[in-house]
């Protein structure tokens, strides 16, 4: 792609570009608001800009780089989008409508270099890091698909960086995307409404602790001891649990009163869901004095992964042990399982069900 991707620019960068064309600064504000606030995807629609400027912009720059390849609609209303980048790599995004808010799960990489054994994305390997603009575009495309370009969204939007990829291996682009999205003239999704999940890149957890305008932190744990965790999440060999807990402790010290972070614990039947695992998990959190909440996520089965979700009874027994140890926990309800849109199921697959044309579009 040789054209400048305007969606990738912070307001100050856009301003530099616009003034380099000999245009007044305020034009940058108009363009930023058109791309991020009104979510317009073509220069023709920006009728508040002079015609020759629009022509120049469309000559030199681009707004949309992601091409929608297919979309899938779940029986629970969840939508999964499979996009292709300009260099033909898959990017997946999930839109989850809820009564009082929408949640969009975005990807930070195409594929993923980590080899978590319970996750289908791992099978793609790393294709490449996404740019900030490609991260922001996922949100714009999902909102436009749900509500139409230029239409105000009826509910607030929460974002979770839990799609394909390890966000902390693409840290700079991620944080820049967060800054672009928080702008009041743009999407205006503040960092407080964003949660980013890491498999445990300890140095970046520390870097996040000292980052201004940072999103909330979630850490995928999946096991309470090194032996099992290294088996399920090989990144544990690089940053074992003791190092991860030390980074969490440092992160905790940076939290404001009332703020917390989360551990995600995928529950794999017969693998990490015994009473003993629950006791080990509670011991780990309490021993390190962490005020974290634990999200229990029954595994979302996906061929050919060899796991099954823990039964409801098992999840309840596991919870009871965490409750008794005073650890706040929550069971995450799966969304979009039937279209491979749930946690751990993203692998750019188009062989599940039929792509669905969404009525009215
Ligand atoms: S769980 Fe996350 S970090 Fe692990 S392989 Fe899947 S996408 Fe990558």
The per-residue pLDDT for 333 is 78
Spatial distance between the Cα atoms of 94 and 103, rounded to a whole number of angstroms? 8
- 292 pocket-lining for ligand 1 (C-beta < 6 Å): no
How many helices (H) does the chain have, and how many strands (E)?
A: 11, 14
- 163 pocket-lining for ligand 1 (C-beta < 6 Å): no
- 199 pocket-lining for ligand 1 (C-beta < 6 Å): yes
Cα→Cα distances 324→8, 261, 287, 321, 355, Å: 47, 20, 15, 5, 45
- 105 pocket-lining for ligand 1 (C-beta < 6 Å): no
- 266 pocket-lining for ligand 1 (C-beta < 6 Å): no
The per-residue pLDDT for 133 is 98
The per-residue pLDDT for 131 is 98
Contacts of 318 (CB under 8 A, 6+ apart): 267, 273, 275, 277, 278, 296, 310
The per-residue pLDDT for 57 is 97
Spatial distance between the Cα atoms of 157 and 135, rounded to a whole number of angstroms? 15
pLDDT per 10-residue tile (average), the chain, 361 residues: 92 98 97 98 95 96 95 91 96 94 96 93 93 98 94 94 96 98 97 97 97 95 98 98 97 93 96 98 96 92 88 96 97 76 66 49 40
Q: How far is the CA of 94 from the centre of ligand 1 (A)?
A: 16
Residue nearest to atom 4 of ligand 1 (CA): 116
- 160 pocket-lining for ligand 1 (C-beta < 6 Å): no
Closest atom of ligand 1 relative to the 109 alpha carbon: 7
Q: How far is the CA of 185 from the centre of ligand 1 (A)?
A: 33
Q: What is the pLDDT of residues 242-285, one digit of tens each?
A: 999 999 999 999 999 889 999 999 999 999 999 999 999 999 99
Spatial distance between the Cα atoms of 290 and 249, rounded to a whole number of angstroms? 7
Residue nearest to atom 6 of ligand 1 (CA): 119
- 114 pocket-lining for ligand 1 (C-beta < 6 Å): yes
The per-residue pLDDT for 350 is 58
Spatial distance between the Cα atoms of 232 and 40, rounded to a whole number of angstroms? 43
Closest atom of ligand 1 relative to the 198 alpha carbon: 3
Contacts of 149 (CB under 8 A, 6+ apart): 38, 39, 40, 41, 45
Pocket test for ligand 1, best of 117, 118, 162, 165 (most atoms within 8 A of CB): 165
- 122 pocket-lining for ligand 1 (C-beta < 6 Å): yes
Give DSSP secondary structure letters for 246-306.
HHHHHHHHTPPTT---EEEEEEBTTTT-SHHHHHHHHHHHHHTT---EEEEEE----TT--
Spatial distance between the Cα atoms of 101 and 153, rounded to a whole number of angstroms? 10
Q: How far is the CA of 125 from the centre of ligand 1 (A)?
A: 10
Pocket test for ligand 1, best of 92, 93, 109, 122 (most atoms within 8 A of CB): 122
Residues in the chain: 361
């Amino acid at each position: 792609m040789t054209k400048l991707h305007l969606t990738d620019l912070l307001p100050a960068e856009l301003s530099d570009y616009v003034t380099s064309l000999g245009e007044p600064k305020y034009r940058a504000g108009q363009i930023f608001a058109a791309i991020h606030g009104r979510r317009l995807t073509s220069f023709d629609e920006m009728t508040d800009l002079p015609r020759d400027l629009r022509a120049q912009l469309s000559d030199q720059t681009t707004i949309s780089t992601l091409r929608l390849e297919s979309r899938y609609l779940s029986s629970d209303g969840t939508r999964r989008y499979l996009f292709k980048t300009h260099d033909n790599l898959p990017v997946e995004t999930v839109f989850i409508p809820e009564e009082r808010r929408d949640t969009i799960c975005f990807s930070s990489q195409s594929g993923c270099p980590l080899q978590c054994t319970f996750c289908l994305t791992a099978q793609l390997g790393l294709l490449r890091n996404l740019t900030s603009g490609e991260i922001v575009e996922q949100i714009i495309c999902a909102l436009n698909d749900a509500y139409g370009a230029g239409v105000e969204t009826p509910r607030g939007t929460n974002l979770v960086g839990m799609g394909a990829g390890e966000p902390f291996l693409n840290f700079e682009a991620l944080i820049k995307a967060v800054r672009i999205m928080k702008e009041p003239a743009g999407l205006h999704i503040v960092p407080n409404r964003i949660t980013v999940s890491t498999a445990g890149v300890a140095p970046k957890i520390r870097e996040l602790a000292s980052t201004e305008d940072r999103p909330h932190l979630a850490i995928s744990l999946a096991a309470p001891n090194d032996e099992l965790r290294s088996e399920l999440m090989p990144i544990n060999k690089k940053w074992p649990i003791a190092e991860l807990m030390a980074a969490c402790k440092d992160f905790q010290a940076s939290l404001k009163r009332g703020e917390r972070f989360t551990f995600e614990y995928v529950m794999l039947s017969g693998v990490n869901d015994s009473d003993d695992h629950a006791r080990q998990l509670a011991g780990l959190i309490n021993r390190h004095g962490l005020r974290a909440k634990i999200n229990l996520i029954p595994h979302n089965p996906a061929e050919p992964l060899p796991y099954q979700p823990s039964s409801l009874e098992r999840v309840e027994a596991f919870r009871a042990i965490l409750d008794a140890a005073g650890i706040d926990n929550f069971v995450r309800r799966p969304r979009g399982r039937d279209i491979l849109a749930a946690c751990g199921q993203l692998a750019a697959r188009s062989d599940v069900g039929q792509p669905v044309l969404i009525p009215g579009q």
